[in-house]
Amino acid sequence: MRTYCSDVEERNVNKYGVNELRKMFLDFFESKGHLVMKSFSLVPHNDNSLLLINSGMAPLKPYFTGQEIPPRKRVTTCQKCIRTGDIENIGKTDRHGTFFEMLGNFSFGDYFKHEAIAWCWEFLTEVVGLEADRLYPSVYLDDDEAFDIWNKEIGIPAERIFRFGKEDNFWEHGSGPCGPCSEVYYDRGEKYGCGKPGCTVGCECDRYIEVWNNVFTQFDNDGHGNYTDLSQKNIDTGMGLERLAAVVQDVESIFDVDTIQALRNRVCELAGKTYKEKHEWDVSIRIVTDHIRSATFMISDGIMPSNEGRGYVLRRIIRRAARHGRLLGIEGDFLANLSSTVIEGSKDGYPELEEKKDFIFNVLTQEESKFNKTIDQGLNILAEMEENMEKEGRTQLSGEDAFRLYDTYGFPLDLTMEILEEKNLTIDEEGFQAAMKEQKEKARKARKVTNYMGADVTVYESIDPAITSEFVGYDKLSWESGVTAMTTEEAVVDALTDGESGTIIVAQTPFYGTMGGQCGDTGVIRCGDGEFVVQDTIHLAGGKIGHIGRMTSGMIKLGDKVELSVNPAGRADTCKNHSATHLLQKALRTVLGSHVEQAGSYVDAHRLRFDFSHFSAMTPEELAKVEQIVNDEINAHLPVRTSVMTLEDAKKTGAMALFGEKYGDSVRVVQMGDFSTELCGGTHVANTGDIAVFKILSESGVAAGVRRIEALTGPGVFAYYKELEDRLSEAAKIVKATPANLAEKLTHLMAEVKQLSSENESLKSKAARESLGNVMDQVKEIKGVKLLAAKADGADMNGLRDLGDQLKEKLGEGVVVLASEKDGKVNLVAMATDSAMAQGAHAGNLIKGIAALVGGGGGGRPNMAQAGGKNPAGIPQAIAEVEKVLEGQLK
């Protein structure tokens, strides 16, 4: 146990610099068995819940939830963070930045409170040398365990440990893992205090500032406020590096620590202002200082200014910085200049800043000059709007006006808001959002042509037409080249980052772009930790080849030297299919005749399709012959040779050219032994033997005089047979047979089914007959005509008709009416013999007269009629009614 010293002494700490403190922290936790990991990108990876990384814990979430296994159970990081939620605080408090670095130590189911608290204390007091008597821990109200550790193990008197409620000291995010926190506050002395009575730890002023937060993730919240103990308890801590530096260096604010001070001084220098001369200026100086840090780091992680998401956060920050620079009297573009000071101060911890320097400056300057062009005009317009408001006695700017400033002059909403707030005016935010929505709708409707990515075709049209790409992939599957252009789905950009979809264009590529019926390659483009998965490759206007896909990690920017790798299996299978179409064409001409011309083709890694001129459906024999020829040529292992020559020379080789196709002066000729010679720009196998096997799946007509063959090669054929085999086994299993005796078994089964169903028919009519009982007893005579009206159970309409015929026969002459109930529905049949009809009986009208009673309708001829109904309960009444109706019919 350490003894607690209660005397407040003169401060006597070493003035460690920011870069030194970062290293001390990481070294300290490394000595406690932690793995030091590099800061993750500000762009969250696979996490849509967050726009930007805002804590050390955020990028480690998958390790906490157990989705991913951490490289070690103890990890320590210094993580770059952006907190846009703190933007209003910047310049006003001493302790907030939108950008800051968070030091953290993490335990994934390893150590817990005892170690976390002890190491936190050891680092602050022994490593850094802060005086114990200026430090105050806080714990969560109910967390006696943490209280006791501070009190009994560390030796802090009970009255110096603060207990706070859920709001401050319980970390929770909806349902899931959560737990109490323990924070450490540092008392910077009375001069920083608000002087209000009761100002103590927890006061919002800048005297007691929170430096470190230790989160003990120990519960699981089921979403209804029921907490159960987690089996794996975690530690997640966070300490602002700049705040630590501010207390260690004993300076007023984070803007006075060594690295940031250098930047702040640079701002003052550019503005010709002195810090601490005028409060208003100080706020602007701090805002510029903070925002340029945020912007520099965001751009280095590949975020580009835009009107949406992260890009909009960056745009707001850059434009806010630009405006406050103007308020300070800085003229012209100045952000790139300041950014170089940021990079100077932070490249120690973040070497990528130095590497991407030119890119960062470029993005900053472009965005700044774009804004500078309109800012004065915008400010004038806003001043006019304010005048109008004053005249009309309004204090709220309309949504449309705010939107006009946004749309035409590039004023982010919060910038307009901030300017108005200074004069106690507000904005109709809802109206702004509505105007924004309306404009988006309009833009969507106005959008004319879209490509399959849903983007304007004009995205590609805005690329510099001087840019072209060369295909180098006939015999190479990977290649290094420089990025010459990139786009998102909407715009030409300078970089793509994690999660973004878009198109990359390079000077030389091994990726084959969709052409001549052959599908484009897939694969991956890499640069450092940047990875772009290529889902398709296409030819763009002006000789450019576009790699379409998605960034799956990191960033790639304009000018980067990238490694392009084609998916080798996909390419190999595509080559097999393409070469097979050449063999197929020749085989078709051999079997069907020289009128066969290619009318179209499609090949990808999975299948091939070949359309050709021919005027009748192919016979099975012709198909078998064609398939055999192709397989023979595969087995002949013909070498495949390609050469580039003039069109004249090509024609001399007898090469088959596409009818109506325009060729350039030099053409590529693909020869497969002496069997096939074609003009073709596609990729092929080196030897026909590589195709392995060829199988036709179908032959069909697609247009007048045009037939289509679909076929498979190599692994596609095996997959096809495998699937057939699986289906066959499954079918055999169902009828308890083997694939070998399946046909025999099915023949037996079919015969059995036939016999059973005929047996079933006769059983059904027998059953219906029996249900009538001794039916002839029920025969009545109406005006001398015999009538049999009865209910037969369970018979369907067919059964009922059969039964009716039988009874009519038995009856000799007369009328038969039968009703049955089946599956909740009613069937009615009426029949009259010739002599009954002669006396006036009419089966059709009889049915009509009674059908309503069973909820139905129907009718028919005089001798035979039928009807259906929905109400079985009405059957007895209907049968009773027959007598009356018949009586009315008879003469």
Please report, as ranges, the residues that interact with ligand ATP according to CB under 6 A.
83, 86, 95-97, 100, 102, 210-213, 238-240, 242-243
Smallest CA-to-CA distance from 862 within 818, 884, 832 is with 832
**Least Å from the CB of residue 328 to ligand ATP:** 22
Nearer to ligand ATP, 98 or 218 (CB): 98
Which residue has the CB atom at the shortest distance from ligand ATP? 240
Centroid of chain to Cα 390? 48
Nearer to ligand ATP, 243 or 323 (CB): 243
Are residues 119 and 34 in contact, defined by beta-carbon separation less than 8 angstroms? no
> 3-state DSSP call for residue 57?
coil
120 is in an annotated binding site: no
Nearer to ligand ATP, 82 or 318 (CB): 82
Nearer to ligand ATP, 92 or 783 (CB): 92
**Least Å from the CB of residue 308 to ligand ATP:** 24
Nearer to ligand ATP, 169 or 585 (CB): 169
Tokens of 576: 């097999």
Nearer to ligand ATP, 96 or 315 (CB): 96
606 is in an annotated binding site: no
Nearer to ligand ATP, 54 or 833 (CB): 54
Rounded distance between C-alpha atoms, residue 242 and residue 239, angstroms: 9
Kindly provide the b/e burial profile for residues 302-325, where b requires at least 16 CB atoms within 10 angstroms of the residue's own CB. bbbbbeeebbbbbbbbbbbbbbbb
Instruction: For the beta carbon of residue 536, count every other beta carbon within 10 angstroms.
Output: 18
Q: Which residue type is seen at 823?
A: D
Are residues 563 and 527 in contact, defined by beta-carbon separation less than 8 angstroms? yes
Nearer to ligand ATP, 210 or 597 (CB): 210
Q: What is the CA radius of gyration of the chain?
A: 43
Rounded distance between C-alpha atoms, residue 137 and residue 124, angstroms: 12
**Least Å from the CB of residue 299 to ligand ATP:** 20
Helix, strand and coil content of the chain, in percent to the nearest 5, comes to 45, 25, 30
**Least Å from the CB of residue 91 to ligand ATP:** 12
Nearer to ligand ATP, 241 or 551 (CB): 241
Say if strands 640-646 and 780-782 run parallel, antiparallel, or are unpaired.
unpaired
**Least Å from the CB of residue 344 to ligand ATP:** 21
Task: Please name the residues in contact with 421: beta carbons below 8 A apart, sequence gap of 6 or more.
Answer: none
Tell me the torsion sign for CA atoms 128, 129, 131, 136. positive
**Least Å from the CB of residue 346 to ligand ATP:** 15
**Least Å from the CB of residue 103 to ligand ATP:** 9
**Least Å from the CB of residue 79 to ligand ATP:** 10
Rounded distance between C-alpha atoms, residue 316 and residue 309, angstroms: 11
582 is in an annotated binding site: yes
Instruction: For the beta carbon of residue 840, count every other beta carbon within 10 angstroms.
Output: 15
**Least Å from the CB of residue 280 to ligand ATP:** 22
Nearer to ligand ATP, 212 or 275 (CB): 212
**Least Å from the CB of residue 437 to ligand ATP:** 32
Residue 310's alpha-carbon distances to 299, 307, 313, 486, 825, in angstroms, are: 11, 9, 5, 19, 65
Rounded distance between C-alpha atoms, residue 424 and residue 891, angstroms: 103
Rounded distance between C-alpha atoms, residue 205 and residue 589, angstroms: 89
**Least Å from the CB of residue 255 to ligand ATP:** 11
Nearer to ligand ATP, 96 or 707 (CB): 96
Task: Please name the residues in contact with 539: beta carbons below 8 A apart, sequence gap of 6 or more.
Answer: 513, 514, 515, 545, 546
Nearer to ligand ATP, 76 or 820 (CB): 76
Nearer to ligand ATP, 115 or 168 (CB): 168
Nearer to ligand ATP, 100 or 612 (CB): 100
Say if strands 470-471 and 508-509 run parallel, antiparallel, or are unpaired.
parallel
DSSP 131-173: -GGGEEEEEETT-HHHHHIIIIII---GGGSEEE-HHHHEE--
Instruction: For the beta carbon of residue 270, count every other beta carbon within 10 angstroms.
Output: 18
Nearer to ligand ATP, 94 or 401 (CB): 94
Are residues 208 and 201 in contact, defined by beta-carbon separation less than 8 angstroms? yes
**Least Å from the CB of residue 365 to ligand ATP:** 27
**Least Å from the CB of residue 212 to ligand ATP:** 6
3-class SS letters over 830-860:
EEECHHHHHCCCCHHHHHHHHHHHHCEEEEE
3-class SS letters over 181-208:
EEEEEEECCHHHCCCCCCCCCCCCCCCE
Rounded distance between C-alpha atoms, residue 568 and residue 570, angstroms: 5
Instruction: For the beta carbon of residue 494, count every other beta carbon within 10 angstroms.
Output: 17
DSSP code, position 12: -
Angle between helix 258-271 and 335-346 (nearest 10) = 160
Centroid of chain to Cα 784? 84
Are residues 856 and 755 in contact, defined by beta-carbon separation less than 8 angstroms? no
**Least Å from the CB of residue 240 to ligand ATP:** 3
**Least Å from the CB of residue 315 to ligand ATP:** 20
Rounded distance between C-alpha atoms, residue 186 and residue 95, angstroms: 12
Binding site: residue ranges?
Answer: 578, 582, 680, 684
**Residue stretches of the annotated binding site for Zn(2+):** 578, 582, 680, 684
